[in-house]
Structure 1
Amino acid sequence: MSGASEGPFAKLPEPPYYAVIFTSLRTEREGVEYGRVADALVELARDQPGFLGVESVRDGERVGITVSYWRDEASIAAWKRLAVHLGAQRAGRERWYEHYELRVARVERAYSSVTSPRAGLE
């Protein structure tokens, strides 16, 4: 699956699948290199077997949350072992992150709600 999305929400299949939740506090000196590498990693992830999609937000300060979705744990493990990803992990620990947390969870159920801009007007 391409992991294509429209807006902030990844288009995902029916569960089960896995979510990798990466919450970070960036250093004040991470600079332009961080954004370039982060964008390149998302594009690389989109080409990996088992990748389903990604959602990411960052506040006006330095806190960010990125959730990537994967078909299975083997796909996550393969992604983690890629040389480019290993290099980015090292740079993150050394330069970009003051603190981070990474969690892996199996998604058993997923719900959504869409409110039409015209709801109640028809």
Structure 2
Amino acid sequence: MYAVIFRATMNKVDAEYANFASQLRQLAFDKYGCLDFIAVCEGNQEVAISYWPNEQAIRAWKADPMHMQAQQKGREHWYSDYQVQVVKVTRQYP
């Protein structure tokens, strides 16, 4: 199992952002096999962690046209900066 950790400093959150986020979350589950998705915001900081069965699913998700459009809007409008980490989960405890 893999995790994608997305950390961002929010620049501007609007209705379009909320709409994209909702649609992309559902798309990740329905089309790309996302196992879980958790996002939290505090102040202008956002952290989202999604879990995936393999790296191929992550690559396919990253290349999805709607996700690519959201990435561009994120760079141009929604985030002043962001970072993405892809990690392999080697242990998990209850």
Structure 1's consecutive aligned runs of 4 or more residues displaced over 4 angstroms after TM superposition are none
Whole-angstrom CA distance in 1 between matches of 2:32 and 2:25: 13
Whole-angstrom CA distance in 2 between matches of 1:111 and 1:58: 25
Any idea what SS the aligned residue of 1:38 has? helix
Whole-angstrom CA distance in 2 between matches of 1:40 and 1:90: 16
> Which residue does the alignment assign to 1:18?
2
Query: Root-mean-square deviation (CA), in Å?
Result: 1.0
> Which residue does the alignment assign to 1:48?
31
Structure with higher RCO (Cα < 8 A, 6+ apart):
2
> Which residue does the alignment assign to 1:66?
48
**What is the Cα deviation at residue 32 of structure 1?**
1.8
More helix by share: 2
Report sequence identity in percent: 38
> Which residue does the alignment assign to 1:38?
21
**What is the Cα deviation at residue 33 of structure 1?**
1.3
Task: Structure 1 unaligned segments of length 5 or more: list them.
Answer: 1-16, 113-122
TM-score between both structures, scaled by the size of structure 2: 0.94
TM-score between both structures, scaled by the size of structure 1: 0.73
